[in-house]
Amino acid sequence: MNYIIFDLEFNQSYDSTKRRSIIKKASNKECPFEIIQIGAVKLDEKLELIDKMDRLIKPVIYPEVNPFVQELTGITTEMLKLAAPFYEIYNEFTEFLKSNRAILCVWGKADIKELFRNVKYHKLDLSLIPKEYINLQKHASKHLNCPKGTSIGLSNAVNLLNIPSKDEFHNAFMDAYYTAEIFRKIYNDSMKPKIYNINENRSSNKRNSRMPSIDTEGLFKQFEKMYNREITEEEKSMIKLSYMMGKTRQFQIEIPDNKPTIQ
DNA sequence: TGTTGTCGGAGCCACAACGG
DNA sequence: CCGTTGTGGCTCCGACAACA
């Protein structure tokens, strides 16, 4: 078994014309964040470092590095012009992942999510990514007694755990390295990997799957059609109330089931 | 039978914090 | 900058009990 601690740096859309109100460079919905750097370290079962990887990726969706991203990561458009394309680095990465059992370790869930999204965008083989993962940010936040609802940043966690650093954060390889150091410091047996579900996405699942509201107009129309006449306001309110009461099941009665149960 | 109050669960929303 | 995540507070609503 191996632990793969990885970190990504992304680029995103940027409108260099500055005329945002007139022209807004569309962020690609399929892939709003394009991976431009993968950094990873591999640990064995004893949490000893056995391999590492650090590669830049040539972007194709957003070829120009967003100044904000450049400022944050130090990665420039020039640097990426010489980098290899995604499919090539993904090949390398999946080779790097090969193990009888690889568990991904990430700092926050964003990286794992964007990795899946980028691989999907490039129509590459998603099944090569292990499904087991540990979100170390969550464990570290708990370990360091962060107040409920807050999660600790990587540099704060490194400082609080007295891990020697030279402030080289927001570099994929260094972030992966620091995350691995944190993992070694806070590791305990109760840190069980979870299975990543590619479909778990708040905005598309939870937030849009509200309880359906009642199409009252459609309901009344149906009654008018069935009775071939207009429905009065009083009837409307009765129909609506009955519909709601039906949902509560408060007048539903149990019918005894005499069938023998089969074990 | 109808009204009122309480309780708990679910959904919604704004916000903070973090990610690049 | 833009996007995501988790939380607390709020409201709504069903379930239920108590009461007239």
Asked if residue A153 keeps its beta carbon closer than 7 A to nucleic acid strand C, the reply is no
> Would residue A222 count as lying in a domain?
no
> Would residue A88 count as lying in a domain?
yes
> Would residue A53 count as lying in a domain?
yes
Residue A52 gets the label, from left (phi > 0), alpha (psi -120 to 50) or beta, of beta
User: Residue A157 is part of which domain span?
Assistant: 2-198
- What dihedral angle (degrees, nearest 10) is formed by the CA atoms of A190, A112, A66, A63? 150
Classify strands A33-43 and A49-56 as parallel, antiparallel or unpaired.
antiparallel
Span of A7-11, A144-148, A252-256 with lowest mean pLDDT: A252-256
Average pLDDT (A63-88) is 90
> Would residue A91 count as lying in a domain?
yes
Nucleotide closest to A203 measured between CA and C1': C4
Query: Residue A211 CA to B4 C1' — how many Å?
Result: 28
Asked if residue A207 keeps its beta carbon closer than 7 A to nucleic acid strand C, the reply is no
Out of A29-43, A45-59, A141-155, A214-228, the most confident range is A45-59
Confidence of residue A199 (pLDDT cuts 50, 70, 90): low
Number of folded domains in chain A?
A: 1
Asked if residue A27 keeps its beta carbon closer than 7 A to nucleic acid strand C, the reply is yes
> Would residue A116 count as lying in a domain?
yes
Q: What pLDDT does residue A145 have?
A: 74
Out of A6-20, A55-69, A157-171, the most confident range is A55-69
List chain B nucleotides near protein: any atom < 7 Å from a Cβ.
Answer: 10-12, 16-20
CB of A166 within 8 A of CB of A181?
Answer: no
> Would residue A252 count as lying in a domain?
no
Nucleotide closest to A66 measured between CA and C1': C1
Span of A52-56, A74-78, A125-129, A193-197 with lowest mean pLDDT: A193-197
CATH number at residue A71: 3.30.420.10
Mean pLDDT of chain A: 76
pLDDT, greater one: A18 or A160: A160
pLDDT, greater one: A71 or A44: A44
Q: Assess whether pLDDT exceeds 60 at residue A24.
A: no
Nucleotide closest to A148 measured between CA and C1': C7
> Would residue A212 count as lying in a domain?
no
Confidence of residue A181 (pLDDT cuts 50, 70, 90): very high
Q: What pLDDT does residue A89 have?
A: 94
- Report the C-alpha gap between A50 and A132 in whole angstroms: 20
> Would residue A238 count as lying in a domain?
no
